[in-house]
Structure 1
Amino acid sequence: MASIVAVLRKKPNKQGEYPLAVRVTKERKSSYIYTGQYVLEKHWDEKLKRVKKSHPNSRRLNNLLAKKISAANENLLELETTQPFSSAKTIKEQVKGNYGSKSFFKLSEIYLHELKLQGKHNRVSAETPLINRFREFNKGDITFREINESLLRKYQAYLSSTRKVSDRTIINHLIPIRTLYNRAITDGLVDRKYYPFGKGKIVIKFPETTKLGLDEEEVKQLEGLSLKTGSPAWHAKNVWLFCFYLAGMRVSDALRIKWTDVENGRLYYSMGKNNKADSLKLPPKAIQVINLYEPGSNDISPTIFPELRMTDLRDRDLTQKRIKNADRKFNTHLKNIAKEIGLTKPLKMHIARHTFGNISGDRIPIQMLQKLYRHTVVTTTIGYQSNFKHKDADEALNQTVEF
């Protein structure tokens, strides 16, 4: 059982007065709720835990403390009944009347803000609309206790029938809910027994999909397509091919590459998704692509491709916004290019990665391909392909794209 008492904190202000506070203690761990009022130490009765009559406003201050403690105990009783394993910190939040600590969308705001501070802007951009969709469905805020299997099944039906989204997209909508629910359990905001996910409950499992990539002949068609130099379509084609030549590099990484990242024919860069740093020897075809571009004299950021040259890369929000806009424009032009060369497969920026996986076939061992893809675990790579012969990374990369 937690305890709540009035205390005089031993942290004086410039006037030598000490703050009046309410202390919440559980399992020898304490948190403090400050009243905003200060008194001199001589006016505090440590035994009775109250302001002495010698203070001119003793009655008012003691009434304030009594009201705080009364309200605190009332809220604490509810919390101890519903969440007996709550920490002192959680109890403090509840006692303060910060009911947002039990709220799904209040916690989601904290979660998204933390992702933003960590520089994970892609996740913020991807998960914000998913969380907002859940808010639309609920028509407002909701506590974690209210998020049960029945509600989530209704939400799945809503997404399928009303929003007309695919099974995979429905799973994408459930993932941030599960993430936040796990966070709430860790923070002691809800008991694990109410967890609506897992075996026999709501199971999150992605449906199997087929990753389509171009074959060698289709890439040759794209390479041989003549487009007006400097045109948006010409540029989109170049960026796509560059990404393909670098093992299906993500467009967000390609657009951030600077001229200074290339030295003696090698590329040195950190992948934006997980900050993994490495280097690769640039295949001749990739060098041919970047030789089509010249650095500008007034560039803020001397990137190889022009999209971010006038962007301060330290401004992560603006950088990510411009990358998203560029990706959208590239895909529009690639769609038109696909029609021009008679491709029946979809041609988008992310297809460059599938294409590399498709063409690599049995030419590269799975461990080497894992290195090229920069996957953390080999099981992720196995999802793309299997059974390759062992070769040096640079030779394997050249072997794949030099056909």
Structure 2
Amino acid sequence: MPILATYPIRIRVTKNRKSKFFKTIFHALPEEFDEKSEQFTKKYSNHIQSNRVLLKFKDRALKVYADLEYKNEDFSLLDFEGAFVSTAKPKYIVKNFFYFWDEIIEELKSAGRTGDATIHDESLKALKKFNGSTKLEFQQINFTFLSKYENHLRSRGGTNGGISIRMRCIRTIFNKAIDRDITSIQYYPFKKYKISKLKSDPNKIALDYFDVMKIIQWDPTEYSHLIDSHNYFVFSFYTRGMNFTDEMLLEWSQVGHKKILYTHSKSKGNFSITILPPVRKILDYYKKNTLGTKYVFPILLRDDMTPIQSSIARKKPEKNTIRI
């Protein structure tokens, strides 16, 4: 069954024909929100209570707007944003687990950590679906709640590994909320609920030497659309397992006459890799077929791509496969 996309409910503030949008805690399907009345319809879960909360958001925005206009009619939207955001958040927002989680996801995106942001976004949607409401306070997430959520995920085909990811995301948000004094350590549910019990049973089978050699020695010239994928694999093998993200971000300035010097994108460790003949062959190929960017491989097509655009480019090779 397809998952229907929901849309964020935001407050639009307009000043001198310029507008700025401010998020609320709500997301809804088109049929769950009436734009004319600016209210949730009966199809939205807990629509009466949600409309009351939404009205408080609007009242707060109107108060900030009126106060600024009284002090200075020429205030800007930037002035409004500063006053609106710095205003102490109402209790029903501060205690809302989903609202805080949304903030953390936005922080991850701003920091360029699009992979982590995606994992958290998917985990947030899964928990919202289980909860059945956009309202969830930190103290409601206890051992019983997490146990029921685990059973729910398992009933829908979830594995230990997948459930563990969902739970670790919740634990991360809880830890950040405690660090920022959003909630108290007394509500921390992971003292009793142990994620460590969700040990995955990976059925990973490594390629043996002969299989690897079959891939390396395979000639992709008859399949031009697989040349890049084949080069990425061979390059990684002969550079001590350089991962795809580091290949994608590898710049010509990091390639010397005998060594490749780069910083691992995840561990931040510095690596010095000797350029072996197969690697030199691949480097010469891309030097000859360069796109004119600072990058070695033709994955990022411009030098100024954003983290989100880079994350999209990172997924492209998944379409190609090599048959042995």
**Length-normalised TM-score, structure 1:** 0.55
How far off is 1:123 after superposition? 1.1
> What are the equivalent positions in structure 2 for 1:295-334 lying under 5 Å apart?
295=288, 299=292, 301-308=293-300, 310-324=301-315, 326-330=316-320, 333-334=321-322
How far off is 1:210 after superposition? 5.1
Match of 2:139 in 1: 145
2:273 partner SS: strand
Identity %: 23
1:226 matches 2:219: yes
Q: Is the 8 A contact 1:295 1:302 kept in 2?
A: no
1:127 matches 2:117: no
Match of 2:278 in 1: 285
1:171 matches 2:164: yes
| Alpha-carbon distance in structure 1 between the residues aligned to 2:109 and 2:147 | 30
Any idea what the Cα deviations from partners look like across 1:279-301, whole Å, max 9, x if unmatched? 222222222222232355653x2
Q: Is the 8 A contact 1:255 1:303 kept in 2?
A: yes
> What are the equivalent positions in structure 2 for 1:377-388 lying under 5 Å apart?
none
How far off is 1:229 after superposition? 5.7
How far off is 1:258 after superposition? 2.2
Match of 2:23 in 1: none
Any idea what the Cα deviations from partners look like across 1:31-55, whole Å, max 9, x if unmatched? xxx8937999xxxxxxxxxxxxxxx
How far off is 1:185 after superposition? 1.8
Match of 2:67 in 1: 36
Paired letter, 2:143: E
Q: Is the 8 A contact 1:102 1:189 kept in 2?
A: yes
Q: Is the 8 A contact 1:312 1:319 kept in 2?
A: no
> What are the equivalent positions in structure 2 for 1:215-364 lying under 5 Å apart?
215-228=208-221, 231-295=224-288, 299=292, 301-308=293-300, 310-324=301-315, 326-330=316-320, 333-334=321-322, 337=323, 341=324
| Alpha-carbon distance in structure 1 between the residues aligned to 2:290 and 2:180 | 52
Any idea what the Cα deviations from partners look like across 1:241-274, whole Å, max 9, x if unmatched? 1112112111111122122221112112222224
Paired letter, 1:129: E
Paired letter, 1:201: Y
Match of 2:24 in 1: none
> What are the equivalent positions in structure 2 for 1:154-193 lying under 5 Å apart?
154-162=148-156, 164-193=157-186
Cα 1:147–1:208 shift into 2, 3 Å: same
| Alpha-carbon distance in structure 1 between the residues aligned to 2:70 and 2:247 | 61
Cα 1:187–1:221 shift into 2, 3 Å: same
Q: Is the 8 A contact 1:296 1:302 kept in 2?
A: no
| Alpha-carbon distance in structure 1 between the residues aligned to 2:281 and 2:70 | 75
Cα 1:306–1:215 shift into 2, 3 Å: same
Any idea what the Cα deviations from partners look like across 1:83-115, whole Å, max 9, x if unmatched? xxxxxxx9x83xx52532211111111111222
1:280 partner SS: strand
How far off is 1:315 after superposition? 1.4
| Alpha-carbon distance in structure 1 between the residues aligned to 2:206 and 2:180 | 43
2:146 partner SS: helix
| Alpha-carbon distance in structure 2 between the residues aligned to 1:153 and 1:219 | 43
1:99 partner SS: helix
> What are the equivalent positions in structure 2 for 1:179-218 lying under 5 Å apart?
179-198=172-191, 200-204=192-196, 205-209=198-202, 211-218=204-211
| Alpha-carbon distance in structure 1 between the residues aligned to 2:204 and 2:290 | 41
Match of 1:29 in 2: none
1:263 partner SS: coil
Match of 1:377 in 2: none
| Alpha-carbon distance in structure 2 between the residues aligned to 1:278 and 1:37 | 54
| Alpha-carbon distance in structure 2 between the residues aligned to 1:283 and 1:130 | 42
| Alpha-carbon distance in structure 1 between the residues aligned to 2:254 and 2:262 | 6
**Length-normalised TM-score, structure 2:** 0.67
Q: Is the 8 A contact 1:265 1:282 kept in 2?
A: yes
How far off is 1:190 after superposition? 2.3
Cα 1:252–1:296 shift into 2, 3 Å: same
Any idea what the Cα deviations from partners look like across 1:21-77, whole Å, max 9, x if unmatched? xxxxxxxxxxxxx8937999xxxxxxxxxxxxxxxxxxxxxxxxxxxxxxxxxxxxx
Cα 1:221–1:37 shift into 2, 3 Å: closer
1:294 partner SS: helix
Q: Is the 8 A contact 1:105 1:141 kept in 2?
A: yes
1:228 partner SS: helix
2:221 partner SS: coil
Cα 1:38–1:136 shift into 2, 3 Å: closer
RMSD across aligned positions (CA): 2.8
**Runs (5+) with no aligned partner, structure 1:** 1-33, 41-89, 342-403
